[in-house]
Amino acid sequence: MKTRLIVLILASSLLWVGCSDFLDTVDLTEKTNATFPIAAADYDQAIAAVYASQRDAYFDQINSFIGISSYLDDDYIANGRALFDDPMIRGFERYQVRNLDQLLTPWQNYYKAIYRANFVLESLDKNSTALSDAQKASYRGQACYLRASSYFDLCRLFGGVPLKTNTVSSNPTRATVDSCFARIASDLKKAAELLPAKSFQNVNKSNELFNANKYAAEAMMARVFLFYTGVYGKPELPLAEGGSVSKSNVLDYLHDVINTSGYGLVDDFRNLWLYSFANVDYKYAKTNNLSWIGEKGNNNECLYMISFSGLGTNNQWDRFQNSVSCSVPGITPFGAGSGMSAVNPKVYEEWDDADLRKTGSIWNVKDAATEGIEFSSTPAPNSGKFYFNSQSNVEETGYFQKKYCHIYVNVGGKRTAANTVLNGTATKNNTNDATVGQYIIRFSDVLLMAAELGSPNAQLYFDKVRSRAYLKNSGNTPIADKPFYKPATLANIQDERRHEFAFEGIRWYDLLRWKIVDQQIAKYKTDVPVYKFGVLEKITIRYRPETKGLLPIPQSQINLSNGVLKQNEGWGSNEGIYSGI
């Protein structure tokens, strides 16, 4: 995605007007694909608008795809305050919602991205004589990738959804799951074929760094294949034009990424996360000599990222970070935010202390020796100490994730948001605004997916991820004689994925495709110790299997469709409504 992130309306505000055209759009500008885009600069704007729409589905603290997905899994306890939007988060955690229209915003954002991708694809069929063949292939490939990833998110959240492959106004029914995934697979296949095989080292870091590329499409195909075949019990992934994608095909894609892409593992897992930037003020980062890999071309582990910009309007900031940051003010480097997300203490307690990812992913608020942040048993605002917010917080555990927390550093003796230092411009709202991107596909995922799919190099790939986690290297140190060595069995790969991708919005879909949701939620969310308004108690959260892991389609969209859309199971008028604090 171009860092300038030009937000072009492109007649795609997706206002939900009229009962007969709930997926219709309204022309809001004079730019239509009869006259726009024409030149390459026009197409740059058009494709940037698709990226901007995708970003909108990830930036919000309530409706971020990564946030929603994480609240559903067994690594989180929702936490948050008794007021404001926070009960929505605790509703997700209980497989409930506050109201049946709660997911309207992500629904609209995804269809906005799909409309814009369709606009680009249609425009290439009509107005592309001014482009070179390479330019046409690049724009078409990126649009296909973005449409596929938008539908993949929609299908993971809601199941089969209406399929729109053009900009014509219509009121389609929900497509079958098979049809949706066939469209997704065909788009990814097309993207992998069209986008150039340009290695990470040869990517133009000034304007291509966050664009979808051939290797991102190949890796995403593997993720789609594993989810579809696992959840729906199918041996292959169908294609819209006929035929299918087999396990062998997917392994070929993954081996291509591993062997030819130039991507790899960064030497220290912890340098992937912004807290490593605070290596002067933050004891943990300073002691371990951490240094943030940044987002300007040195991170060869990131195949695809949702990039954010601090140079535009407020919705170009990453507000998702607000939800996972603690609500205690004045702590360096962490905070402050809404404190909606706490780590499940059971996950922390069973995690191997020798695994660098444990303290690299989780902040234990009582471990001052490691973190350099003191704990106070009584409220101590702006003291630099953490304390349980007994006045408002509902499910505190004493553990927070570090990966996407707001980060602060000292500049001239003043506590300053890292965003301000990195961008050279002050944030508008330090508790809401952040600019750090969200990882969608990392190279470690490619290695573990290939291992899970039975690559001849499964053990080697599995060992690389564990070698980095325990020895702080890029995965090239043999570990067969090490105490942390494990064979690359499915059970061990499942554990490895949990620890490698904790809090990145991946685990919930792993649980679904492995068909272990019921047992994992029962194991990790029974009798969980939490502090409710500062008082220690235990809570139990039960999974609702009648939902089949799906969320409710926004009721307003069902109404606007004149009943063409049907609600998911387990979400009747009074089912799944969370009425707690």
pLDDT tens digits, residue range 311-344? 444 445 677 888 889 888 889 999 788 888 899 9
CA angle 575, 578, 579 (to 5 degrees): 120
* Mean pLDDT of the 147-160 span: 98
Residue 7 pLDDT more than 60? Answer: no
Residue 15 pLDDT more than 60? Answer: no
The packing angle between helices 177-194 and 133-158, to 10°, is 150
Distance CA(115)–CA(28), nearest Å, equals: 14
Helix (H) or strand (E) run with residue 507 in it: helix 507-514
Q: Give 579: exposed, middle or buried? Use CB within 10 Å, 0-12, 13-18, 19+.
A: exposed
Distance CA(33)–CA(188), nearest Å, equals: 24
* Mean pLDDT of the 179-195 span: 98
Q: Spell out the alpha helix ranges (H) of 98-132.
A: 104-126
Mapped onto helix, strand or coil, the DSSP state of residue 187 is helix
- Residues 6+ positions from 174 with CB-CB distance below 8 Å: 159, 160, 161, 162, 565, 566
Closest among 181, 162, 198 to 236, alpha carbons compared: 181
pLDDT value of residue 1: 40
- CA distances to 228, 271, 480 from 467, in Å: 30, 16, 10
- The pTM of the full predicted model, rounded to 2 decimals, is 0.93
* Mean pLDDT of the 562-568 span: 94
Mean pLDDT of all residues in the chain?
90
Residue 391 pLDDT more than 70? Answer: yes
Where does residue 535 fall: left (phi above 0), alpha (psi -120 to 50 degrees), or beta otherwise?
Answer: beta
Per-residue b or e along 165-198, where b marks 16 or more CB atoms closer than 10 Å to that residue's CB: bebeeebeebbebeebbbbbbbbbbbbbebbeee
- Residues 6+ positions from 387 with CB-CB distance below 8 Å: 328, 375, 376, 377, 378, 379, 380
pLDDT above 90: percentage of residues in the chain = 74
Residue 2 pLDDT more than 60? Answer: no
